[in-house]
Amino acid sequence: MTNPIFQNYTSPWENDELRILRDAARKFFQSEFKPKNDRWIEAGIVDRDAWFLAGEAGLLCAEIPAEYGGGGGDYRHETVIMEEMLYAGLGGFGNQVHSTIVAPYILNYGSEEQRRRWLPKMATGETVGAIAMTEPNTGSDLQAVRTTAIRQDDHYVINGAKTYISNGQHCGLVIVVAKTDPALGGRGISLVVVETDNPGFKRGRNLKKLGQHSADTSEMFFDDCRVPVTNLLGEEEGKGFVQLMQQLPQERFNIAQAAVCGIERALEVTLDFVKQRKAFGQRVIDFQNSKFKLAECKTEALVARTFVDQLLLQHLEGKLDAATASMAKYWCTQKQNEIVDECLQLHGGAGYMDEYEISRMYADARVQKIYGGTNEIMKELISRSL
């Protein structure tokens, strides 16, 4: 990408095809979604029709092969779509979970029948995807999940509760992290897909949050929820924890990329503000403190951008390891929170007002250091590589 903040920098992975996609995605999000965003924030959820519109525009499941209804691209295509979505201030639209987390689980571990059954509907927006990891008493420690999926003949009977589940109100299918053999601990974890029209499945409330107010985030309950054994992801039980560990690097890297977008957008809106706002007879940007703070932020923003761009090239080659993805997730989200805070400060009192975008960005950024594994867990994972 070529960002106006970095006049002489272009992302090394971008090409003409991706620039065409970027332009189309930008026009779509700016014209179709952004005018509705304030209403979505007030409602605490995006319109269900938004998913159909995004599907019609070819913006869902971009890296899923065309034979399963997807865009037939690679992770770069998902990146371009995500960046333009976030630059438009639409972090509440849950496509990151839907397209870059849930769909790859089905593609990589699902049977041919599962792929053909679920992926085309996800690509059109007919089905929204979610993944249920977190429980009321279990967060980053996934081996401690209590939800069970016990086999009875040709069905699994699922019992348990999940919480903080993104896309929880709209989802038509959810990948459930459950123990098929509780006696085995982490080695007894499996991933089982539940279609949400199942009578044993119940959605809880749409949870109120500090930020990301248009993102539906829900509780889920499974009460003797019976699903066919053919809904297991993978050829055998007990592979769920390994599957999670294989896919979490992409999820964490995606969070890092989102953090960099947040940094860049914060700088963009802040530069616009300080060039117009006056104090003591001069523009806010003309004060030395303002220039020095922004110089620091711009430097760290470019470091973050070049870091994630380099890791994207590694990821395309299948070489992005868990420790490096954890470094990106920890460092970029930490910098996002620090830089957005500095940018809010430069807005003065206006920065605390909800009508200014920087105020929402400040609230939205905080969860970045928590989900996908807390930054403390990221440091633990990094330390194991020392």
What is the number of other CB atoms lying within 10 angstroms of the CB of residue 14?
18
Q: Where are the beta strands (DSSP E) in 109-147?
A: 129-132
Query: Could you read off the pLDDT of 181-194 as tens digits, one per residue?
Result: 999 988 999 999 99
139 falls in which pLDDT band (50, 70, 90)? Answer: confident
- Residue 365 CA to residue 209 CA, distance in Å, equals 12
CA 71 distance to own-chain centroid: 19
**Does 207 lie in the same domain as 308?**
no
DSSP letter string, 245-284: HHHHHHHHHHHHHHHHHHHHHHHHHHHHHHHH-EETTEEG
Cβ(293)–Cβ(344) below 8 Å: no
- Among 57-61, 142-146, 154-158, name the one with the lowest average pLDDT: 142-146
**Does 260 lie in the same domain as 233?**
no
Phi, psi at 153, each rounded to 5°? 60, -120
Query: Could you read off the pLDDT of 241-258 as tens digits, one per residue?
Result: 999 999 999 999 999 999
Q: Is 384 a residue whose pLDDT tops 80?
A: yes
**Does 342 lie in the same domain as 293?**
yes
Domain boundary among 127, 145, 166: 127
pLDDT at 361: 97
pLDDT at 8: 84
pLDDT at 144: 87
Over residues 333-342, the mean pLDDT reads 98
- Residue 5: inside a domain: no
CATH code of 227's domain = 2.40.110.10
Query: Could you read off the pLDDT of 83-109 as tens digits, one per residue?
Result: 999 999 999 999 999 999 999 999 999
Query: Could you read off the pLDDT of 32-46 as tens digits, one per residue?
Result: 999 999 999 999 999
Query: How many folded domains does the chain comprise?
Result: 3
CATH code of 291's domain = 1.20.140.10
Query: Which residues are the active-site residues?
Result: 251
- Residue 250 CA to residue 322 CA, distance in Å, equals 9
Cβ(258)–Cβ(371) below 8 Å: no
